[in-house]
Amino acid sequence: MAIITKVTTQQKNQDRFNVFMDYGKGEEYAFSVDSDVLIKFNLRKGMELDEFSFLEIQFADDIRKAYNLGVHYLSRRMRSEKEIRDYLLQKEIDEPIVIEVLHKLSAQKYINDEEYAFSYVRTQINTTDKGPEVVQLELKDRGITEDIQKKAMMEYPVEIQIEKAAKLCHKNAKKNMKESQRTARQKLEQLLLRKGYSFEVIKAALKEADTDKEIDDEMEAIKFQGEKIQRKYSNYSGYEYTQKVKQALYRKGFTMELIEKFLSEKEES
């Protein structure tokens, strides 16, 4: 049996204490513990500790240190249970200790995946242009169960999805002014798909945004694209040249009627 000879407060951390013991060869530093562990085990001068008690104290202190890490991690923002688990495991904390910490944090209402999921969805709606499919995938990546995902996604109704998707259309329409109407529409559709919006929402958003170009705008676009294509095929002539220009413009999404008009105007100029 070893006897505690002294307990002192650490200078740099007032919540931790150094415990000194006599193993039969005089006083020496033995271990340090958190204030909560000190109180829980009533550690004091003259107290005898056997090997089992020592292991029990160390396990309790390891839990407390991991718990403090978890609380600090949570102080920045809400976290899912999986995020905290992954964070503690990255700190090389043993799985049994992580489980104990998660139980304690859950019991104290510091972590609640359902509250987290609802808050996360609302934040993404208010601060990003992400569609529901991306948001739900992010919930899944954060360890949120499918049942909670579905409940939380009810915070993101179709009306809001269409509104946000239409704003994206307006924002990006000008970037595609030099493209044909068909190509510009395809680019908007691809953008909205990547952002996580469904085909039904995309269709409604494009209709609401009314991104169809005026005839003059489409003519400006074909002139821009046509001049580049003409330079590309300038080493061709006659029928072969005309066909290559037509094919290239058609692949760019312009109608044959507009292509013929463009080439006719070029011939007259």
Per-residue pLDDT of 210-269, as tens digits, reads 655 555 667 777 777 778 888 888 888 888 888 888 888 888 778 887 777 778 877 765
- The CATH code of the domain that includes 230 is 1.10.10
Same domain? For 194 and 223 the reply is: no
pLDDT of residue 212: 55
Terminal alpha carbon distance of the chain: 106
Three-state SS for 3?
A: strand
- The CATH code of the domain that includes 190 is 1.10.10.10
pTM of the full structure: 0.74
Q: Is 29 exposed, middle or buried (0-12, 13-18, 19+ CB in 10 A)?
A: exposed
DSSP-assigned letters across all residues of 31-79: EEEEHHHHHHTT--TT-EE-HHHHHHHHHHHHHHHHHHHHHHHHHHS--
Average pLDDT over the chain reads: 90
Give the number of domains in the chain: 3
Residue 139, token pair as written in the block: 């919930």
Distance CA 107, CA 7 (A): 31
| 186 pLDDT higher than 80 | yes
In this prediction, residues 69-84 reach a mean pLDDT of 95
Same domain? For 208 and 224 the reply is: no
Same domain? For 203 and 224 the reply is: no
- Tell me which of 51-55, 134-138, 202-206, 249-253 is least confident: 249-253
Residue 151 lies in a domain: no
Farthest-apart Cα atoms in the chain, separation: 110
Closest C-alpha among 156, 169, 149 to residue 126: 156
In this prediction, residues 40-68 reach a mean pLDDT of 95
pLDDT of residue 269: 57
- Residues of the chain with pLDDT > 70, as a percent, come to 95
- Tell me which of 74-83, 200-209, 211-220 is least confident: 211-220
Same domain? For 198 and 234 the reply is: no
- Residues of the chain with pLDDT > 90, as a percent, come to 67
Give the position of tokens 């066909």.
243
Distance CA 106, CA 41 (A): 24
| Higher pLDDT pick, 243 / 194 | 194
Q: pLDDT tens digit string along 14-40?
A: 999 999 999 888 999 999 999 999 999
Residue 80 lies in a domain: no
Residue 186 lies in a domain: yes
Tell me which residue range forms the domain holding 197: 157-213
Residue 250 lies in a domain: yes
Q: pLDDT tens digit string along 90-113?
A: 999 999 999 999 999 999 999 999
pLDDT of residue 237: 83
Q: pLDDT tens digit string along 154-167?
A: 999 999 999 999 99
Residue 251 lies in a domain: yes
Alpha-helical (H) ranges within the chain are 35-40, 51-76, 81-90, 95-107, 113-127, 132-141, 146-153, 158-173, 181-195, 199-209, 215-232, 238-251, 256-268
In this prediction, residues 192-211 reach a mean pLDDT of 89
Query: Which residues are CB-neighbours of 31 under 8 A, at least 6 positions away?
Result: 18, 19, 54, 57, 58, 61
Residue 206 lies in a domain: yes
Residue 105, token pair as written in the block: 């944090």
Residue 59 lies in a domain: no
